[in-house]
A and B are shown apart, each in its own frame.
Chain A
Amino acid sequence: MKFAVIQFPGSSCDLDLYHAVKDVLGEEAEYVHHHETDLSGYDAILLPGGASYGDAVRAGALARTTPVMEAIIRAAEEGKPVLGVGNGFQILTEAGLLPGAFLKNRDQKFICRTVKVQVVNNRTPFTSEYTEGEELNIPIAHGEGNFYCDEETYVQLKENNQIVFVYSDGNPDGSVGDIAGLVSEKGNVLGMMPHPERAAESILGSEDGLNVFKSIVNEWRESHANQA
């Protein structure tokens, strides 16, 4: 399985994502420049964290105007798994691939620490290796991670089971409904603020994030075994 790790100017978790899928899981991975317009050779797209364009205007606002975004939108429409972590999640909301928007953290501070995250929905291509209700230790690292959507959108997200991860031991940033991660209506686009790639090996203090990538790989293998 071949992963594209998108690199925007200011991305900083690209190497960590690459390491998780390539070195830890042994899958193929390539860095892809933000001017690339063709992602047809990749099976899954990863949007890294960091601060693309220095978070100018708003986090993710400039990254969504880059040429690669059109290709990412096409990949999402084709049903390929698209995962955005941290700033990647912010970019996906800016691009309209996921609902809502991000505000500055409730307490104004940049927060970088491991938090408890609960798996609310394990019936997605990103969480099938988890059990429902499982509690994970995964770090967050964000200053604008305060997810906001209006009441109507929140009700819809709940009804459609789009909320995948919630903060389960206190809400660190003020996010509506304790939301830490959500999928698109079709389920093949996931945005999450916790960084699973920073919890993908025991040497990092937690392996709880690795199943996000394992799920993507296993789901892809299963769907391709059926096709063969």
Chain B
Amino acid sequence: MKKANVYVTLRESVIDPQGTAAINVLHAKGHDNVKDVRIGKYIELTIEDTGQDLDTAVREMCEKLFVNTNVEDYRYEVLEVEEA
């Protein structure tokens, strides 16, 4: 089995309404040294290893479903996982 961990965040150029709300709270709580908060999504995919090109498959899944590339960026890592 393989596992793909996908991280989706808003593109740098896009104001993150959740991050903006969160940083205001952090500053109110005294965490003045926090300069930026970007809130995103984390997706775990468990994939049967059939020898196919996982990079192509994961990229396709991201761009056709998980990520709206108009506003979001993503990165991912593919890991080996032990069979249970």
Contact = CB atoms under 8 A, between A and B. Distances in A.
A103 B10 contact: yes
Interface string A131-164: 0000000000000001011100000000000000
Interface in B1-37: 10, 13-15, 17-18, 21
B18 A148 contact: no
A100 interface: yes
B17 A106 contact: yes
B31 to A, nearest CB: 19
A61 B68 contact: yes
B70 A58 contact: no
Interface residues of B, number: 13
A65 B68 CA distance: 13
Contact of A58 (B13, B15, B17, B68): B68
Given A101-B71, A103-B71, A108-B21, A148 B14 contact: yes
Given A101-B70, A101-B71, A148-B71, A61 B65 contact: yes
Interface residues of A, number: 21
Contacts of B13: 150
A80 to B, nearest CB: 25
B66 interface: yes
A137 to B, nearest CB: 26
B73 to A, nearest CB: 13
Interface string A91-111: 001100001110111111000
A107 B66 CA distance: 24
* Residue from B13, B21, B64, B71 whose CB has the most chain A CB atoms within 10 Å: B71
Interface in B32-84: 64-66, 68, 70-71
